[in-house]
Amino acid sequence: MKKDTLQEFDEVISICRNLFVKKMHDYGLSWRILRPTSLTDLIYIKAQRIKSIEEKGCQAVADDIYSEFIGIVNYAVMTQIQLAHGACSIGDTTYTPNQISNLYDEYVQNAKNLLINKNHDYDEAWRNMRMTSITDVILMKLLRVKQIEDNNQQSLVSEGLDANFYDIFNYAIFALIRLNETKHETI
């Protein structure tokens, strides 16, 4: 594994977490009422928008692809929290923002550990992937998730929902790292 991958991971996560905390300040924990299936759909919308922009070569809304990948990272963490702790009812105060931030950090660390293990085996093959392939893999994993959700979370031989969301998270991290590299190359 390249020595700086973990540093790049940490830099990207710092940006994602910072936005997550700021939005939690602005909106509170309103997302906690979302069922995991709703979060799946929100991630799907972001990934489909990225694919649409990639194919059209232009966009009509100001939010850039980088921001969409940050959204995918943060929604993937939210989904892991919802899968493990369940959605809450309106007005539920079971968790504080500080507790949610700690859960965010826990799921990010789990994803980072998975990234370390997979990078060991795959020798950072993601660095040679086309950006469009990263988008397609995220969309494919989302379609898998939707199928598993439609099967009442039952699968015969496939990974569960959490494994797919960790993969979605890490592919979005890869995209952000690659986009950061592109920014530095053009400066």
Do residues 77 and 20 touch, judged by C-beta distance below 8 A? yes
Reported as a pLDDT band with limits 50, 70 and 90, residue 186 is very low
Contact 149, 36 (CB under 8 A): yes
pLDDT at 111: 96
H helix intervals, the chain: 5-27, 36-56, 65-85, 97-122, 131-150, 161-186
pTM: 0.92
Q: Residue 41 CB: number of other CB atoms within 10 A?
A: 16
Residue-level pLDDT at 184: 56
The per-residue pLDDT of the chain, averaged, comes to 91
Residues 43 and 75 sit within 8 Å (Cβ to Cβ): yes
The band of 23, judged by pLDDT with boundaries at 50, 70 and 90, is very high
With a CB cutoff of 8 Å and minimum separation 6, the contacts of 33 are 87, 88, 89, 90
**pLDDT given for residue 187 in this prediction:** 38
pLDDT digits (tens, 9 = 90+) for 65-96: 999 999 999 999 999 999 999 898 887 778 99
